[in-house]
Structure 1
């Protein structure tokens, strides 16, 4: 009985090893897709160093994702009328539910991404949607971004860290 179990395990290991070796040396090995940093979010680039087998060769690079604390706090403060659904300070993502701004009639939801430690407009990415699922016009989105950036600068000046 034990001999049969060992044989089955050896055969399974042999099959996995042979399937793994099939892709070695080929030009068109499957690559993991990553989103590019262009203005078109539909463009997908592939990373030639990242394959399905890369998960076994992971190394701890010790890199930490940094999020600007002023942009983070200002985003939460400016969008405080929206209920927070999901929040991740390690990746800089804030996802809110639908809420109506004070004095407004339409309900909005927001997704905020802060992807750089610099207090800079390029570090802040904001997407607003109406309850009907339509995106909000650019002027409104720009006004909310400006309010977040202004509040972040005020917070920084209050800390006396020029």
Structure 2
């Protein structure tokens, strides 16, 4: 008797969940407000044209950005959408060069999977002001666009953009030297 009630409750719950995804609610992108409150003077053809034009613009924007919008369903909650074989690649020459050039800074944290190196405060040789740096190697290419350096001075003031650029140039130069040394093996 109890098993029968439990099965009946599960069946009703399953039906309610599956029917709840069938409406024209917010999840489908249509709240229904425009249909009920639309002015009667606008013909249905015009609203259809507007909707089609908006969908075409969204599709064009998605193509331009390289993204694709997928409709989701209730069953997507139970699927594992992540690819376990996805790896984040970091350029090894930029990674080692950043550590070589900024070797006077104590390393606080390193994450080779995301390409982030966070250092503590340290004074450069022959300098009087202490700096800390965050280095982000975001691409496997040996390219200036693959490297981002953020500096903070101990005084809390802004660091000259020329100083940041000089450090980026030094890291890129050292990375190229390491690449040339590696190719001669």
Q: TM-score, normalised by structure 1?
A: 0.68
Structure 2 match to 1:60: 83
RMSD: 3.5
Q: How does 1:30-49 map to 2 (within 5 A)?
A: 49=69
Equivalent pairs, count: 145
Structure 2 match to 1:25: 28
1:21-47 Cα shifts (integer Å, max 9, x gaps): 86421259xxxxxxxxxxxxxxxxxx8
Matched, 1:156 2:152: no
Structure 1 match to 2:149: 126
| Residues 17 and 116 (structure 1), Cα distance of their counterparts in 2 relative to 1, 3 Å cut | same
Q: Distance in 2 between matches of 1:86 and 1:16?
A: 46
| Residues 123 and 57 (structure 1), Cα distance of their counterparts in 2 relative to 1, 3 Å cut | same
1:99-152 Cα shifts (integer Å, max 9, x gaps): 111110001010111111011111111011111333311111111111101111
Structure 2 match to 1:70: 93
Q: Which residue of 107, 123, 133 corresponds with 2:130?
A: 107
Shift in Å at residue 71 of structure 1?
Answer: 0.3
In structure 1, list runs of 5 or more residues that go unmatched: 1-8, 29-46
Structure 2 match to 1:94: 117
| Residues 146 and 24 (structure 1), Cα distance of their counterparts in 2 relative to 1, 3 Å cut | same
Structure 2 match to 1:84: 107
Structure 1 match to 2:140: 117
Moved runs in structure 1, 4+ residues, more than 2 A? 12-23, 47-51, 53-57, 132-135
Higher strand share: 1
